[in-house]
Chains A and B, each alone.
Chain A
Amino acid sequence: MTQNDTYDAIIVGAGHNGLTTGCYLAKAGLRTLIVEKNDWIGGAAVSRSLHDGWTYSNCSYVCSLLRREIVRDLDLPRFGLQVIPYEGGATFTGDGDYFAYMSDHDALRREIARHSPRDVDAYDRFAQTVMRQCRFIRPFLLRNAPDPTSLHPRDLGELAFLVKQAHGLGARELGETIRFWTMSIGDFLDEHFESDLIKAHLAGSGIIGTGLGVYSPGTAYVLLHHYMGDVDGSIGAWGFARGGMGAISNALGQAFAEAGGEIRTGAGIDRFRVRDGKIVGIALENGDTYDAPIVASNMDVKRTFLRHVDRACIPDDFHKAVTRFKIRGSSAKINIALDRMPAFPAAPPNAPFLRGDLHCSTSLAELERGYDDWKDGRWSAEPYFDMLIPSQIDPTMAPAGQHMMTVFVQYAPYDLEVDGVRSGANWTDGARDALADCVYEKMQQAIPDIRDRIVHSEVRTPLDIEREVGLTEGNIFQGELTFDQLLFNRPVPGYADYSTPIDGLYMVGSSSHPGGGVMAAPGANAAREILRRAGRGRKMPRLAS
């Protein structure tokens, strides 16, 4: 018995961006349906109980990028969203030392001085540069990216805004901005610091989630992508969502429901239905069909068009552009239930920095070698990882006295090479275990008894993330954050305004400007564009400053 029904708008995929778009459409009075293939909502922002008593943020694991304008506008705290900033972070060396990032400024200076006296004020200069770049870019996050080839007044207006912002920088800063946007995180850090350990600690943010190495040009910008978030106005601060990342999706889901939206889970899409170049609705795998003049895809651009849209419905150029859009799996995730708080023998007991992001990569060269391994289809022999134990400050994540650890691992290829063949199918259970083993081996730099602490663990390869969440190659940004895929080039030149060649079909996921991270900006920007085109632009609150 198949169902069908008619809506004003349908959104495919209940990730945080799809939910955000849904909230704004529903609040503008559109009868809106969100369909989600999984039995739960959230996409990659989920909290799941995979081992009795433990809650895993089993994909994305921290937040800061979530735009505060959107949190406020959708009143998400009322739906239980609480973001708690971290207190620091550290990188552990193999010889019993560490570099700790301290939230206390005086302590941070002392800690930097312990590694390099001259890096103390170098850090201030580094922070100044990064903050200035964050300030420069933030106004663009909640705006459309202008199409420089267009003479449309809206594009010219956005272009004029860009020129005005750039002009405000002055020549010197404009030059620095050009350099910052185009240089590698490795070169950027080499310009500022002398301590390898400090550089390695700061470099992670330039490569997390990308198919680039620390010396690949453009990675300084990626750093920004991780720094421009703000927890309570403090730029660059990161936080945990209480109850895991699913708390964000759940709050968005409740806001959506309150606005009158409808969510159908366990409802995977079969295809977008197109007639005469216009979207007319969707068909689900179970045979249900729904009609709507507006359909938005929260899936990435490749999955949307290469799997769920009839090839005949899209022009060749667009098809080619989508085909060559680069989405490269480069990271894995390990979620671990710990029987107690593990000991970090190098660190002072109860050090606040243990309640932040912890790492074991000690030099830029080591990070770059990790990238070389990945290019050749192997996981990094000495992987970089970003590990956190959120249960230290979030009692909801694990039984009392026990802990939950989340480990983001870079680099792990999607198409693993075995015997000269590169394929996702090479991710066997054996390969999965070997990857985890490699991570634990390295992790012993910080936690010598890590293997004894593990009650349960879940290893998620790029393939696993693709299968479960639907992200192509398990890429967390729905597309590489390289120049050719940013701003007006994202996802396809000429379609950076969330529209597609199919009238009424929109892209609302991280494949679109400004890109990935649990930011919700693509979702909100897309909603603005959809409502504007539907003649309901006034129903969209003004978010951009």
Chain B
Amino acid sequence: MNTHTVPIGLVPGPVHDRLEALSRAKSWMGWAGYISPAVLETAEFEYFAIRNQTTLFDISPMHKYRITGPGAEAMLNRMVIRDVTRIAPGRVGYVMWCDQDGMVIDDGTLFRLGDADFRLCCQELMYSWLLDAGWGFDVQIIDESHRVAGLSLQGPTSWSLLKEAGLDLGDMKPFDCRQVEPGLMISRTGFTGDLGYELWTGWDGAGALWDRLWAAGRNWGLRAIGYVALNIARIEAGFIAAGMEFQPVHAARRLHRGRTPIELGFGRMVHWDKGHFNGRRALLGQLGKGSRYSLVKVDIAGFKPAHGALIYHRKRREVGYVTSGVWSPTTKRNIALAELKAPYGTTRTDDLWVELYVNEEGRWDRRMLPLTIQDKPFFINPRARATPPGPF
């Protein structure tokens, strides 16, 4: 009898039994091979819990890699576009890394756990890339994806909830991370643009951690959520997502689908003066030649989410498309992220229109809706950055 069988299809994550019990919608989706909730009850109430109370979302399917050793800082500094030496131990940096042509491979969060100890969390499989990037440096790279579980606790009452769970993090600033108990690391990070924390523990300890938070959450309106609600919040916050705002270049099977950090609006994050990093020469070339695209935040007339819609200049020339679009329940605006071909979105920003096909109970309607480009995230709230945070 064989012992080699690998499961086919999606497999349960570390807190799946909890999620299964909470799921009324039975609406699941696949995330890196795991069963992940799209919606547990209703997306709308789950969304409002993010902005009003606190929400819990299992982020264990993220890929997590541990990079340690005397060469870790130099190795990562050569890999990502920003200067890793400026991320102090106990801090987290949002990072992006490119291929040789300056096209974004993926983005993620880099946790500096010590001088020579990092954890990289990202969407895409990155193990062999990291091994290649680590070649020539004195580093060890371990794939921790199936060892480390993560729970994302997001919302205005999350600090209070943690305090009730016995975890007082009043002095923790945004992008801080620290080991709070043996086997439990917490970072003040998230994907909602609001106050929130991510809790990292061993795969097998995730259930107990969930229960602990769940118990503490009774007085703070804690609600488990699915991806659909989270996605609304991240668009409000103006965060980009792999596969939506950019195609991770290693996964793109067609040519010329890559985008540079500059084109994605992260030009200011590129630390040109730190020495060589992957794709630097190509990106310098783009600085000289100019970008091909620009990713912008847009506000669209009307109420219908414009996800995937084409964008026209003067209603005639096709100049881009909406990469992510939702109705924002908090700001009451029809918001979206959109990619425009240069020079639209940079020097030419007027007379832009979204083409939308709307089906209202069996009647299709084509609408051309004006859009305006925004330079700030749609949702900004000082509570997200306050230290210590407010109770709610």
Q: Closest Cβ of chain B: how far from A132's Cβ, in Å?
A: 6
CB pair A104–B9 under 8 Å, yes or no, is: yes
Given contacts A110-B33, A352-B8, contact A172 B253 (CB under 8 A): no
Answer yes or no: A125 CB below 8 A from chain B CBs. Answer: yes
Instruction: Name the CB-closest residue of B to A116.
Output: B128
Given contacts A127-B253, A169-B255, A170-B256, contact A111 B6 (CB under 8 A): yes
CB pair B6–A125 under 8 Å, yes or no, is: no
Which listed residue, B1, B4, B6, B255, touches A173 by the CB 8 Å rule?
Answer: B255
User: Which residues 60-111 of B sit at the A interface, judged by CB distance below 8 A?
Assistant: 100-101
**Which of B9, B128, B143, B255 gathers the greatest number of chain A CB atoms within 10 Å?**
B128
Provide the residues of chain A in CB contact with B30, threshold 8 Å.
106
CB pair A121–B9 under 8 Å, yes or no, is: no
Provide the residues of chain B in CB contact with A49, threshold 8 Å.
none
Q: How many residues of A contact B (CB 8 A)?
A: 35
Instruction: Name the CB-closest residue of B to A99.
Output: B4
CB pair B8–A107 under 8 Å, yes or no, is: yes
Answer yes or no: A450 CB below 8 A from chain B CBs. Answer: no
Answer yes or no: A459 CB below 8 A from chain B CBs. Answer: no
A86 and B375 alpha carbons, distance in the complex (Å): 51
User: Which residues 1-34 of B sit at the A interface, judged by CB distance below 8 A?
Assistant: 1-2, 4-11, 30, 33
Of the candidate stretches A74-82, A143-151, A342-350, the one touching chain B is A342-350
Instruction: Name the CB-closest residue of A to B99.
Output: A172
Q: Closest Cβ of chain B: how far from A67's Cβ, in Å?
A: 20
Given contacts A97-B4, A114-B4, contact A121 B126 (CB under 8 A): yes
Which listed residue, B5, B100, B143, B255, touches A348 by the CB 8 Å rule?
Answer: B5
User: Which residues 91-145 of B sit at the A interface, judged by CB distance below 8 A?
Assistant: 100-101, 124-129, 131, 143
A131 and B254 alpha carbons, distance in the complex (Å): 8
Q: Closest Cβ of chain A: how far from B66's Cβ, in Å?
A: 13
Provide the residues of chain A in CB contact with B386, threshold 8 Å.
none
Provide the residues of chain B in CB contact with A106, threshold 8 Å.
8-11, 30, 33
Provide the residues of chain B in CB contact with A352, threshold 8 Å.
8
Provide the residues of chain B in CB contact with A128, threshold 8 Å.
250-253
Q: Closest Cβ of chain B: how far from A121's Cβ, in Å?
A: 4
A98 and B4 alpha carbons, distance in the complex (Å): 8
Answer yes or no: A109 CB below 8 A from chain B CBs. Answer: yes
Answer yes or no: A138 CB below 8 A from chain B CBs. Answer: no
Q: Chain A: interface secondary structure? A: helix
A96 and B98 alpha carbons, distance in the complex (Å): 42
CB pair A345–B2 under 8 Å, yes or no, is: yes
User: Which residues 335-381 of A sit at the B interface, judged by CB distance below 8 A?
Assistant: 345-348, 351-352
Q: Chain B: interface secondary structure? A: loop
Provide the residues of chain A in CB contact with B124, threshold 8 Å.
121
A346 and B253 alpha carbons, distance in the complex (Å): 34
CB pair B8–A104 under 8 Å, yes or no, is: yes
Provide the residues of chain A in CB contact with B5, threshold 8 Å.
348, 351
Provide the residues of chain A in CB contact with B127, threshold 8 Å.
117-118, 120-121
Instruction: Name the CB-closest residue of A to B33.
Output: A106
Q: How many residues of B contact A (CB 8 A)?
A: 29
CB pair B128–A120 under 8 Å, yes or no, is: yes
Answer yes or no: A309 CB below 8 A from chain B CBs. Answer: no
Instruction: Name the CB-closest residue of A to B100.
Output: A172
Answer yes or no: A168 CB below 8 A from chain B CBs. Answer: yes
A97 and B2 alpha carbons, distance in the complex (Å): 8
Q: Closest Cβ of chain A: how far from B194's Cβ, in Å?
A: 32
Answer yes or no: A102 CB below 8 A from chain B CBs. Answer: yes
Bitwise interface map of B from 346 to 367 toward A, beta carbon under 8 Å scored 1, else 0:
0000000000000000000000
Q: Closest Cβ of chain A: how far from B108's Cβ, in Å?
A: 15
Answer yes or no: A124 CB below 8 A from chain B CBs. Answer: yes
Which listed residue, B4, B250, B254, touches A121 by the CB 8 Å rule?
Answer: B250
CB pair B128–A118 under 8 Å, yes or no, is: yes
A114 and B143 alpha carbons, distance in the complex (Å): 14
Answer yes or no: A122 CB below 8 A from chain B CBs. Answer: yes
User: Which residues 125-170 of B sit at the A interface, judged by CB distance below 8 A?
Assistant: 125-129, 131, 143
Provide the residues of chain B in CB contact with A173, threshold 8 Å.
255
Q: Closest Cβ of chain A: how far from B259's Cβ, in Å?
A: 15
Provide the residues of chain A in CB contact with B252, threshold 8 Å.
128
Provide the residues of chain B in CB contact with A125, threshold 8 Å.
128, 250
CB pair A347–B6 under 8 Å, yes or no, is: no
CB pair B255–A117 under 8 Å, yes or no, is: no
A102 and B4 alpha carbons, distance in the complex (Å): 14
A397 and B6 alpha carbons, distance in the complex (Å): 30
A117 and B145 alpha carbons, distance in the complex (Å): 11
Q: Closest Cβ of chain B: how far from A21's Cβ, in Å?
A: 33
CB pair A132–B33 under 8 Å, yes or no, is: no
Provide the residues of chain A in CB contact with B100, threshold 8 Å.
172
Answer yes or no: A456 CB below 8 A from chain B CBs. Answer: no
Provide the residues of chain A in CB contact with B255, threshold 8 Å.
132, 168-170, 173
CB pair B7–A124 under 8 Å, yes or no, is: no
Q: Closest Cβ of chain B: how far from A191's Cβ, in Å?
A: 12
CB pair A121–B6 under 8 Å, yes or no, is: no
A351 and B2 alpha carbons, distance in the complex (Å): 12
CB pair A124–B9 under 8 Å, yes or no, is: no
CB pair B6–A114 under 8 Å, yes or no, is: yes
Instruction: Name the CB-closest residue of B to A130.
Output: B253
CB pair B6–A110 under 8 Å, yes or no, is: yes
Q: Closest Cβ of chain B: how far from A345's Cβ, in Å?
A: 7
Bitwise interface map of A from 132 to 161 toward B, beta carbon under 8 Å scored 1, else 0:
100100000000000000000000000000
Q: Closest Cβ of chain A: how far from B129's Cβ, in Å?
A: 7
A96 and B2 alpha carbons, distance in the complex (Å): 7
Q: Closest Cβ of chain A: how far from B176's Cβ, in Å?
A: 31
Which listed residue, A121, A131, A345, A348, touches B128 by the CB 8 Å rule?
Answer: A121
A345 and B4 alpha carbons, distance in the complex (Å): 11
Q: Closest Cβ of chain B: how far from A495's Cβ, in Å?
A: 33
CB pair A109–B33 under 8 Å, yes or no, is: yes
Q: Closest Cβ of chain B: how far from A127's Cβ, in Å?
A: 7
A102 and B11 alpha carbons, distance in the complex (Å): 16
CB pair B9–A107 under 8 Å, yes or no, is: yes
Provide the residues of chain A in CB contact with B143, threshold 8 Å.
117
Answer yes or no: A386 CB below 8 A from chain B CBs. Answer: no
Bitwise interface map of A from 47 to 66 toward B, beta carbon under 8 Å scored 1, else 0:
00000000000000000000
A131 and B257 alpha carbons, distance in the complex (Å): 14
Instruction: Name the CB-closest residue of A to B8.
Output: A107
A469 and B224 alpha carbons, distance in the complex (Å): 67
Provide the residues of chain B in CB contact with A36, threshold 8 Å.
none
Answer yes or no: A119 CB below 8 A from chain B CBs. Answer: yes
User: Which residues 9-35 of A sit at the B interface, judged by CB distance below 8 A?
Assistant: none
A491 and B11 alpha carbons, distance in the complex (Å): 52
A347 and B256 alpha carbons, distance in the complex (Å): 41
User: Which residues 173-203 of B sit at the A interface, judged by CB distance below 8 A?
Assistant: none
Provide the residues of chain B in CB contact with A110, threshold 8 Å.
6-7, 33
Provide the residues of chain B in CB contact with A121, threshold 8 Å.
124-129, 250
Given contacts A128-B252, A135-B254, A169-B255, contact A118 B4 (CB under 8 A): no
A102 and B131 alpha carbons, distance in the complex (Å): 25
CB pair A347–B251 under 8 Å, yes or no, is: no
A172 and B101 alpha carbons, distance in the complex (Å): 9
Provide the residues of chain A in CB contact with B2, threshold 8 Å.
96-97, 345-348
A251 and B376 alpha carbons, distance in the complex (Å): 62
CB pair B33–A124 under 8 Å, yes or no, is: no
CB pair A119–B4 under 8 Å, yes or no, is: no
Provide the residues of chain B in CB contact with A114, threshold 8 Å.
4, 6
Q: Closest Cβ of chain A: how far from B316's Cβ, in Å?
A: 26
B contact residues vs A (CB 8 Å cutoff) = 1-2, 4-11, 30, 33, 100-101, 124-129, 131, 143, 250-256
A contact residues vs B (CB 8 Å cutoff) = 96-98, 102, 104, 106-107, 109-111, 114, 117-122, 124-125, 127-128, 131-132, 135, 168-170, 172-173, 345-348, 351-352
What would 6 A/B residue contacts be, using CB atoms closer than 8 Å?
A: A106-B8, A106-B11, A121-B124, A124-B250, A124-B251, A168-B255
Other than the known A117-B127, A132-B254, A172-B100, what 8 A-B pairs have Cβ atoms closer than 8 Å?
A: A104-B9, A109-B125, A118-B127, A119-B128, A121-B125, A135-B254, A345-B2, A346-B2
4 nearest A-B pairs in the assembled complex, by CB-CB distance: A106-B33, A110-B6, A121-B125, A107-B8
